[in-house]
Structure 1
Amino acid sequence: MEAYDIGYLSLIACFLLLAIPLFVSHYLKLGLINETVVSVSRMILQLAFVGFFLTVLFDLNNSAVNLLWLLVMILMASHSTINEVGLDLKKLLLPTVVSFIVGNFLILLYFNMFVVDLENLFDARYLIPIFGMFLGNSLRGNIISVSNFYDTIRRNENRYLYSLSLGAKRHEAILPYARKSIKLALKPSIASMSTTGIVALPGMMTGQIIAGSSPILAVKYQMAIMVGIYVSTVMTVAIGIFMTIRSSFDDYGILKKDVFKSTNT
């Protein structure tokens, strides 16, 4: 049994629901009308592009092209992370890219080889959607961890420098801040795993059931995906912080001021 198609008129009917949050924003003077309209418009354009583009990719199913698209996704995610936390792109782009490659792509290969057991590890229909789920969740985790890490050290600069003055090595002084930031970034993933099933049905599981898969098959895929997401997030977040340290701190353990965008303007 295939999923019911959503026609364009039905899609328009769905967008009419947005009148409710727009009315709430207007009535309560939340100031979110323009932001909502812009966000929805960007979503429509991006998803329309992705829909047509993925159709072409799936039909072509060329391993080299698929891997090239993953690289584009990684570069965009790295740029978004660095830009979101207000750090210097030139200094931190390479270590951030490496963290996403190691934390997501390697887990993806393991997942496709040993969990899904694909004959073609680079099959576009599995490679791109699964990688997108890994990358999207690790992106959010990276933004939380990197932002908290550098903001906390900058706010507590005197305490951090005091630790160095007492003889602590760079990694010893940095570790408490890194540990706290990594834990903060992983809490949403842990909470999501603990409430999945009873409290919430995830998008992938719901989509498979609507598409005609049995609930048991959908559950098995969802469990595997959530484990993969958690592992890739842990790796990306941890590597993301420690890979950027070399570019952000000098040999004496002092945080360089020019890693922040505001100091360059």
Structure 2
Amino acid sequence: MLTEISTLQLALSFIFILVLLIISKIKGLSNQGLIIVASLRMTIQLIITGYLLKYILKSDSPWITVLILIIMEAFAIFNVYKRSKVKSIKLKELIAICFIGSSLVSIFYYIIVVVGVRPWYDPRYFITVSGMLIGNTMTGMSLAINSYKNSLNDQRDTIESALMLGAKPKDAVLRISREAFSSAILPTLNSMLGMGIVLLPGMMTGQILSGTDPMSAILYQITIMIAIVGTVGITTSIFTSLAYKAFFNDREQILF
């Protein structure tokens, strides 16, 4: 049976944040404000989400599930724009298309084919799975974009020289595309390498704490991690393969 967390116990957990603030101050860092804001924002957002989920999980309407999915997709894409400081309309459109297309296909495939949820819009499965896939894809896309932009800026002279010699933009940035893709999937792959030995992932831990058979929880964790790395890989692969269209103009000049 799951042990309930009281308000006092929640407050006591913030001792970890206090210790982190002290360490940060001793080391002369200036990120104390960020630590406090991140901790409070996370707490408030999750509490609000908890109250909403109590209502949503009781719903049997596909429209509510779809509405939540749209909100999650929009919020994730907005976060990608913000994290990567994306200003170009063309780049924003490419990000949105890659993100929405790949994540939706992955979500529905996992829910309907892999897990076989009936009905497919059961919020208990759909919303939690969507959150994990969309959240990890958001991180992967941000890493891919930042890596692509940084490499493009660092290697600008080399790329322009290749273009002058007759190379097409797609070929001139091929190495950058590969590096950006590798950067995007590396964190997920590293997590997978340590799972079961170093790390007990959140989804599996939560199921075990709630009384689920460990083997059942492990099988769920394996399938969701494979789905996550696949979704991140597909989305960032498509993006990095097409990104040159947004970073070059019709005259094959770098746009930034």
TM-score, with normalisation over the residues of structure 1?
0.91
Structure-to-structure mapping, 1:239-250, within 5 angstroms: 239-250=238-249
CA offset digits 1:27-71 (Å, max 9, x no partner): 333233222211111111111111112222212232122112212
Counterparts of 2:243 and 2:23 in 1: how far apart (Å)? 42
Within 5 A, what are the aligned runs for 1:102-181?
A: 102-181=101-180
Letter in 2 for 1:44: T
Residue 224 of structure 2: aligned partner: 225
Q: Which segment is superposed worse, 69-78 or 28-37?
A: 28-37
What displacement does 1:133 show? 0.7
Q: Does 1:200 align with 2:161?
A: no
Secondary structure at 2:118 match in 1: coil
Please give the per-residue CA displacement for 1:110-161, whole angstroms capped at 9, x wherever unaligned: 1111211111112111111111111111111111111111221122111101
Counterpart in 2 of 1:24? Answer: 23
The reply on whether 1:73 has 2:69 as its aligned counterpart is no
Contact 2:106 2:227 in 1 (8 A): yes
Q: What per-residue deviation string (whole Å, max 9, x for no partner) do you get for residues 202-232 of structure 1?
A: 0111111001001100110010010000000
SS in 2 for 1:4: coil
Distance in 1, matches of 2:165 and 2:227, equals 41
Q: Report the CA distance between 1:253 and its aligned residue.
A: 2.6
Query: Is the 8 Å Cα contact of residues 170 and 252 (structure 1) preserved in structure 2?
Result: no
Distance across 2 between alignment mates of 1:89 and 1:75: 17
How far, CA to CA, are the matches of 1:242 and 1:253 in structure 2? 16
How many corresponding residue pairs? 256
Partner residue in 2 for 1:185: 184
Find the counterpart in structure 2 of residue 52 from structure 1.
51
**In 2, Cα distance between equivalents of 1:70 and 1:254:** 38
- Is the partner of 2:14 in helix, strand or coil? helix
- Find runs of 4+ consecutive structure 1 residues off by over 3 angstroms: 242-245
**1:224-263: CA deviation from partner (whole Å, max 9, x where unpaired):** 0100000000011122334443333212332213xxxxxx
Alpha-carbon distance in structure 1 between the residues aligned to 2:22 and 2:81: 35
SS in 1 for 2:225: helix
The structure-2 alpha-carbon separation of the partners of 1:26 and 1:129, relative to structure 1 and needing over 3 Å to count, comes to same
TM-score, normalised relative to structure 2:
0.94
- One-letter identity of the residue aligned with 1:175: L
SS at match of 2:150: helix
Output the CA distance in 1 between the equivalents of 2:85 and 2:104: 26
Alignment partners' CA distance in 2, 1:83 and 1:206: 31
C-alpha contact (below 8 Å) 1:82/1:89 kept by paired residues: no
Range moving further from structure 2, 225-234 or 168-177: 168-177
Unaligned runs of 5+ in 1: 258-265
Partners of 1:176 and 1:28 in 2: how far apart? Answer: 38
Q: Deviations over 1:61-111 (max 9, x none)?
A: 321221122122111111211221222153333221221122211111111
Q: What letter matches 2:168 in structure 1?
A: K
Q: Which residue in the other structure is 1:37 paired with?
A: 36
1:216 and 2:215 correspond: yes
Amino acid paired to 1:27: I
Larger relative contact order (Cα-Cα within 8 Å, sequence gap ≥ 6):
1
Structure 2 CA distance for aligned equivalents of residues 149 and 254 of structure 1: 16
Partner of 1:260: none
Report if the CA contact (8 A) 1:99-1:236 is conserved: yes
Amino acid at match of 1:248: F
Matching residue's letter, 2:184: A
